[in-house]
Chains A and B, each alone.
Chain A
Amino acid sequence: METIAIPAINFAAIMPETILSLVAMVLLLVNVFVPTEKKAYLGYLSLIGIIVTFVTVVNGWNAPIELQSAFSGSVLQDKFSLFFKGIFLVSAALSILITDQYMEREGCNQGELYPLILFATAGMMLMASGTDLMTIFLGLEVLSVALYVLAGFNRGNAKSNEAGLKYFLLGAFSTGFLLYGMALTYGATGTTKIAKIAEFVSLNPTYTHNPIFVVGMLLMAVGFSFKIAAAPFHMWTPDVYEGAPTPMTAFMSVGPKAAGFAAFLRVFLIALPAFRPEWSSLLWILAVLTMTVGNVTALYQQNIKRMLAYSSIAHAGYVLVGFVAGNAVGTAGIMFYMLSYAFMNIGAFAIIVLVGRKGEENNNVSDYTGFGFKHPVLGLAMSIFLFSLAGIPPAAGFIGKFYIFSGAIQEGYIWLAIIGVLNSAVSVYYYLRIMVFMYMKDPVEEFDWLKVTPSIAVCLLLAVAGVLIPGIFPAYILEFAQKAVFF
Chain B
Amino acid sequence: MNETILSLMTFLPLVGVLLLFFMPKNSHDLLRGLALGVTILTFLVSLPLVTGFQTNADFQFVKNVPWISAGPFQMNYHVGIDGISLWLVILTTFIMPLAVLSTWTAVEEKVKEYMICLLLLEVGMLGAFISLDLFLFYIFWELMLIPMYFIIGIWGGKQKIYAAIKFFIYTMAGSVLMLVALIALYFLGVKAGMHTFSIINLYTLNIDPAIQTWLFLAFALSFAIKVPLFPVHTWLPLAHTEAPTAGSVILAAILLKMGTYGYVRFAMPLFPDAAARFTPLIATLAVIGIIYAALVAMVQEDVKKLVAYSSVAHLGFVMLGIFALNQQGVAGGMLQMLNHGVSTGALFLIVGFIYERRHTRLISDFGGLSKQMPIFATIFMIVTLSSIGLPGTNGFVGEFLVLLGAFESNLRWYAVVASSGVILSAVYMLWMFQRVMFGELDNPKNQKLKDLNAREIAIMVPLVALIFIMGVYPTPFLDKMAPAIDKVIQQGKTKHVAAATMPQAPLAPEANEVPAPPITIK
Contacts of B508 in A (CB 8 A): none
Contacts of B164-218 to chain A: CB distance below 8 A: 164-165, 168-169, 172-173, 176-177, 179-180, 183-184, 186-187
Task: Pick the contact of B143: A394, A406, A416 (CB < 8 A).
Answer: A394
A selection of 17 A-B contacts at a CB cut-off of 8 Å is A329-B72, A376-B113, A392-B145, A392-B146, A405-B180, A414-B180, A415-B521, A417-B180, A418-B177, A418-B180, A421-B177, A425-B173, A436-B164, A439-B153, A440-B161, A475-B69, A478-B68
Given contacts A387-B146, A394-B139, A478-B70, 20 further A-B contacts (CB under 8 A): A392-B142, A392-B172, A393-B138, A402-B179, A402-B183, A405-B180, A406-B187, A409-B187, A412-B519, A414-B521, A421-B176, A422-B173, A424-B176, A425-B176, A429-B165, A429-B169, A433-B165, A473-B68, A475-B67, A482-B70
Q: In the complex, are the beta carbons of A405 and B520 less than 8 A apart?
A: no
CB < 8 Å neighbour of B180 from A421, A429, A439: A421
Is B516 engaged at the interface, CB distance under 8 Å to the other chain? Answer: yes
Does B71 lie at the interface of the complex (its beta carbon under 8 Å from any beta carbon of A)? Answer: yes
Q: Which residues of A contact B138 (CB under 8 A)?
A: 393
Give bound CA distance, A405 to B177, whole Å.
11
Contact of A479 among B70, B164, B172 (CB under 8 A): B70
Q: Let me know if A428 is at the binding interface, CB within 8 A.
A: yes
Known: A373-B110, A409-B187, A440-B153. A425 touches B71 (CB 8 A): no
Give Cα A433 to B165, complex, Å: 8
CB-CB under 8 A from B444, the residues of chain A are none
Do the beta carbons of A412 and B522 come within 8 Å of each other? yes
| Contact code string B136-159 (vs A, CB < 8 Å = 1, else 0) | 001100110110011001100000
Q: How far is the CB of B157 from chain A (nearest CB, A)?
A: 12
- The CA of A418 and the CA of B519, in the complex, are separated in Å by 14
Asked if A432 and B165 make an inter-chain contact with CB atoms under 8 angstroms apart, the answer reads: yes
Contacts of B71 in A (CB 8 A): 328-329, 332, 403, 478, 482
The answer to whether the Cβ of A199 comes within 8 Å of any Cβ in the partner chain is no
Could you tell me if A412 and B168 are in contact, using CB atoms closer than 8 angstroms?
no
Residue B518 interfacial (CB < 8 Å): yes
Is A278 located at the chain interface by the 8 A CB criterion?
no
B143 contacts A412, C-beta separation under 8 Å: no
**Which residue of the partner chain, among A328, A417, A441, A475, contacts B68 with CB atoms under 8 Å?**
A475
Q: Mark interface residues in B67-80 (1 if CB within 8 Å of A CB, else 0).
A: 11111110000000
Determine whether the beta carbon of B164 is less than 8 Å from that of A440. yes
Q: B522 CB to closest chain A CB, in angstroms?
A: 5
* A393 contacts B142, C-beta separation under 8 Å: yes
Which of B67, B169, B176, B184 counts the most A-chain CB atoms under 10 A from its CB?
B176
Q: Is A447 an interface residue (CB 8 A)?
A: no
Inter-chain contact A436/B70, CB cutoff 8 Å = no
A57 to B487, CA, bound (A): 55
Q: Point out the residues of chain B lying under 8 angstroms from A373, CB to CB.
A: 110, 113
Q: How distant is B151 from chain A, measured CB to nearest CB, in Å?
A: 11
Is B305's CB within 8 Å of the partner chain A? no
Across the interface, which residues of A come within 8 angstroms of B517, CB to CB?
Answer: 327, 410-412
A474 CB–B CB distance under 8 Å: yes
B340 in the interface (beta carbon within 8 A): no
Across-interface contacts of A478 in B (CB, < 8 A): 68, 70-71
Kindly list chain B residues whose C-beta atoms are within 8 Å of the C-beta of A328.
71
Residues of A within 8 A of B72 (CB): 329, 410
User: B480 on the interface (CB 8 Å rule)?
Assistant: no
Contact with B along A291-321 (1 / 0, CB 8 A): 0000000000000000000000000000000
In whole angstroms, how far apart are the Cα atoms of A5 and B520 in the complex?
53
When distances are taken between beta carbons in the complex, the residues of chain B under 8 Å from A416 are 522
Per-residue A-contact encoding for B90-116, CB less than 8 Å = 1, 0 else: 000000000000000000001001000
A394-B139, A474-B68 known; A410 and B180 CB under 8 Å?
no
Give the docked Cα–Cα distance between A267 and B165 (Å): 42
Instruction: Judge whether B240 is part of the interface by a CB distance below 8 angstroms.
Output: no
Interface presence of A413 (CB below 8 A): yes
Residues from chain A with Cβ under 8 Å of B139 in the complex: 393-394
Interface string of A215-232 (1 = CB under 8 A from B): 000000000000000000
CA distance A406 to B516 in the complex (A): 12
Q: Does B361 contact A (CB under 8 A)?
A: no
Chain A residue at minimal CB-CB distance from B25: A376
CB-CB under 8 A from A435, the residues of chain B are 153
Q: Are B187 and A436 in touch, CB under 8 angstroms?
A: no
* Contact present for A410 and B187 (CB under 8 Å): yes
- The answer to whether A425 touches B184, judged by C-beta atoms less than 8 angstroms apart, is no
Output the nearest chain B residue to A474 by Cβ-Cβ distance. Answer: B68
6 closest A-B pairs by beta carbon, nearest first, are A478-B70, A421-B176, A393-B139, A425-B173, A440-B153, A412-B520
Q: Is B160 positioned at the interface, with any CB of A under 8 Å from its CB?
A: yes
Mask, A388-413, CB within 8 Å of B = 1, is: 00001110001000110110011111
Binary CB contact string for chain A from 354 to 397 against chain B (1 if under 8 A, 0 otherwise): 00000000000000000001001000000000010000111000
A314 to chain B, nearest CB (A): 14
Residue in B67, B146, B149 with the greatest tally of chain A CB atoms within 10 Å: B149
Most chain B C-beta atoms within 10 Å of own C-beta, residue among A373, A403, A475: A475
The CA-CA distance from A374 to B69 in the complex, in Å, is 41
CB-nearest residue of chain A relative to B175? A425
Against A, the Cβ 8 Å flags (1 = close, 0 = not) of B484-522 are 000000000000000000000000000000001111111
- B154 CB contacts on chain A under 8 angstroms: 439-440
Take A329-B72, A436-B165 as given contacts and tell me if A412 and B518 are in contact as well, using a CB distance cutoff of 8 Å: yes
Residues from chain A with a CB closer than 8 A to the CB of B161 are 436, 440-441
Q: In the complex, which residue of chain B has the Cβ closest to the Cβ of A329?
A: B71
Q: How far is the CA of A417 from the CA of B142 in the complex (A)?
A: 19
- In the complex, the answer to whether B176 meets A406 with C-beta atoms within 8 Å is no
Cβ contacts under 8 Å, B518 to chain A: 412
- Which residues on B sit within 8 Å (CB–CB) of A376? 113
| Structural contact, B522 and A415, CB atoms closer than 8 A | yes
Within the assembled complex, what's the spacing in Å between the Cα atoms of A406 and B517?
12
Among B70, B72, B160, B187, residue most surrounded by chain A Cβ atoms (within 10 Å):
B70
How far apart are the CA atoms of A415 and B520 in the complex, in Å?
Answer: 10
A475 touches which of B70, B179, B516 (Cβ 8 Å): B70
Q: Which residues of B contact A436 (CB under 8 A)?
A: 153, 161, 164-165
CB nearest neighbor in B for A473: B68
Residues of A within 8 A of B519 (CB): 409-410, 412, 414
A-side contacts of B145, CB under 8 Å? 392
List, in ascending order, chain B residues with CB within 8 A of A479's CB: 70
Which residues from chain A contact B169 at a C-beta distance below 8 Å?
Answer: 425, 428-429
A398, A405, A422, A441: the one within 8 Å of B183 (CB): A405
Shortest beta-carbon distance from A87 to chain B in Å: 18
**CB <8 Å contact, B177 and A440:** no
In the complex, which of the residues B149, B179, B516 contacts A405, with contact meaning CB atoms closer than 8 Å? B179
- C-alpha gap A403/B68 in the complex (Å): 12
Give bound CA distance, A5 to B143, whole Å. Answer: 62
Closest to A427 in B: B172
User: B190 to nearest A CB, angstroms?
Assistant: 9
Q: Contacting B176 at CB < 8 Å: which of A409, A411, A422?
A: A422
Q: Is the CB of B187 within 8 A of A393?
A: no
- In the complex, the answer to whether A428 meets B168 with C-beta atoms within 8 Å is yes
- Report the separation of the CA atoms of residues A405 and B180 in the bound assembly, to the nearest whole angstrom: 8
Q: Report the separation of the CA atoms of residues A393 and B139 in the bound assembly, to the nearest whole angstrom.
A: 6
Residues from chain A with a CB closer than 8 A to the CB of B179 are 402, 405, 421
Query: With A and B bound together, what is the CA distance between A414 and B180 in angstroms?
Result: 8
